[in-house]
Amino acid sequence: MMIEDLIRAAQEQQATRAVPETRILAGLAGVRRRRRRFVAVGAGLAATAVAAVPAVVVPALLTPAVLSPGMVSPGATPAASSAFSRPGASSSPDVVADPGMPHLRLGYRPGWVPAGFAEYIRQAGAAQDDTGPSLVRSWKRTVGTGDPYNGRSAQLDLYVRTAAEDPAGAVWTGAQKADVNGADGWYSPAQGDQKSSLSWIIDDHTVLMLATSRLDLSKADMLRVARSVRPEAGTNPSPVTLGWLPTGWQPTGLTVSGPAAASWRGSVYVVKQGTEISGKDKKTPVTVNYGELSVTVGARTDAPDGGAELTVAGRPARQPTRDDAAGRGTLYLVVDLGGGRLLTLVGAGGGLDVAQLTRIAANVTVDPTGLTWLGR
C-alpha cells in the first residue's frame, strides 16, 4: 500500500474505533518503500469487543491503574501506590518483575500548532520491526474523560521514531518533496478527506511524521508546524505499571489521555504471541496473537452492566458476561477503585481466565505524577 493510503486507513480506523491503537502504530511504524509484512495486533479482541456493545473496545491502550483504594481522589496527584500488590507475590516463578512498557524518549515537540489545539493524547507502541518503537503525540481542541477516539474531532499527530535502523526505508518518497529546515521531507496532501501527512528524516535513526485527521491544514501550515519542531528531553511517563502477567504475555502498547492531569484515562494493551508458518507460501514465519488483553483505568467503564459480584484485593468488583456469539469468549473484570475511578480488564484467548485477571489487577502500581502535559 502507498503510505498515504495506509495513513488514511489508519486514521479512519482511529475515527471509527474499529481496532485498538496498537494496530495503527504497527501499521504506520512498518511502512516501507519495499513490500514487507507487519503485524496488526489486537484486531481479534477489538472486533469481539465492538461487535455487540457499542461502547466496548479494547480500551485505548495505555496504562490502567489500580489507584489506591479510598486514598486517591480524582483530582489528586499521589506518589506511586500499589495498594493491590500482594506481599510475596513476586516469589512466584511466572511473575514478571516489571512487565510494563519502557519509557520512550519524548524526542521532539512542535513549537507551533494551530490556535486552540493542545496535547491531549500520547500513545507508545513497542517495536514491531527495524523501525523501532513509536511514540505518537496528538493535539486536539478538546478531549473527554472516556475513549479519546469516541468523537470525530480535528486532530494533529506527531509520530516520533528515534530508534529506526533504516529511517529512509520508513518513509514513502513518492510524495511531494518538501524542505524541513534543510532536511528532506515528503508531503502527501489531503484528497478531499481532511487527511494529510508530512514525513522527514532527522538523522541516522530518527524519522518524524505529522498527520492530520478531520483537519483542513494547508501545506504552508503543515510545514510551519514541522519547521517549528525542536528536540525535547525526557521520557514519556507511564502512570501504571503491571506488576504481574501470566507466562508468555507482554505489553505492546500504552495510551494516556484526558483534558487535564486531574482527569486522565489510561490503558495498557497486552498480547500473548507466537510464531506460525504462513498459510500463503507455507514457509514464511509470521507472528500471531493467541491472546489479547486490555487494562484500563478511568472515570467510567466500557464493560457491560451487571455480572457476578466479587472482591479483588479488598475492593468491590464484578464479572460481567455476554451471551451473544461474538462476546461469549471475552472475559471482563471491573474493580471499583474508589475516588471515582474504575479498573476494567477485557481479555480473550491465550488460556486467560478470571483468576489470572484478578491477579493482574491485584499487582498494578499507579503513579499519575508527570501528567502535567495533558491539555498543554
Q: Hey, do 3-37+104-235 and 41-103+237-376 end up sharing a CATH topology, with the first three levels equal?
A: no
The overall pTM is greater than 0.85: no
User: Percent of the chain beyond pLDDT 90?
Assistant: 51
Q: What is the pLDDT of residues 314-343, one digit of tens each?
A: 999 999 999 888 888 999 999 998 888 899
Domain ranges across the chain? 3-37+104-235, 41-103+237-376
The rounded mean pLDDT for the chain is 76
Give every CB contact of residue 182 below 8 A, 6+ residues apart in sequence.
Answer: none
256 has pLDDT over 50: yes
CATH superfamily of 3-37+104-235: MucB/RseB, C-terminal domain (3.30.200.100)
Is the pLDDT confidence value at 257 over 50? yes
Distance of alpha carbon 327 from alpha carbon 210, whole angstroms = 37
Three-state secondary structure of the chain:
CCHHHHHHHHHHHHHHCCCCHHHHHHHHHCCCCCCCCCCCCCHHHHHHHHHHCCCCCCCCCCCCCCCCCCCCCCCCCCCCECCCCCCCHHHCCCCCCCCCCCCCEEEEECCCCCCCCEEEEEEEECCCCCCCCEEEEEEECCCCCCCCCCCCCCEEEEEEECCCCCHHHHCCCCCEEEEECCEEEEEECCCCCCCCEEEEEEECCEEEEEEEECCCCCHHHHHHHHHHCEEEEEECCCCEEECCCCCCEEEEEEEEECCCCCCCEEEEEEEEEEEEECCCCCCCEEEEEEEEEEEEEECCCCCCCCCEEEEECCEEEEECCCCCCCCCCCEEEEEEEECCEEEEEEEEECCCCHHHHHHHHHCEEECCCCCCCCCC
* pLDDT given at position 4: 45
| Digit-coded pLDDT (tens) for 174-201 | 899 999 999 999 999 999 999 999 999 9
Give per-residue pLDDT as tens, 132-177.
899 999 999 999 888 887 777 899 999 999 988 888 888 888 899 9
pLDDT in the model for residue 172: 82
pLDDT at 316: 95
For residue 103, the Cα-to-chain-centroid distance in whole angstroms is 13
Q: Is the per-residue pLDDT at 91 higher than 70?
A: no
Confidence of residue 228 (pLDDT cuts 50, 70, 90): very high
* pLDDT given for residue 26 in this prediction: 36
pLDDT for the residue 239: 82
Q: Is 127 in contact with 163 (CB distance < 8 Å)?
A: yes
Percent of the chain at pLDDT > 70 equals: 73
Give the whole-angstrom CA distance, residue 135 versus residue 102.
11
Q: How confident is the model at residue 20 (pLDDT cuts 50, 70, 90)?
A: very low
The pLDDT tens digits for 265-288 are: 999 999 999 889 988 888 888 888
CA distance 126 to 97: 18
> To 5 degrees, how large is the angle CA 88–CA 90–CA 94?
135
Give the burial class of 307: count Cβ atoms within 10 A of its Cβ; 0-12 exposed, 13-18 middle, 19 or more buried: middle
pLDDT at 14 over 60: no
Find cell 457491560 and name the residue. Answer: 304
Q: Specify the pLDDT at position 160.
A: 95
Give the fold, CATH level 3, of 41-103+237-376. Jelly Rolls (2.60.120)
Nine cell digits for residue 279: 498459510
**Which pLDDT score is estimated for 279?**
82
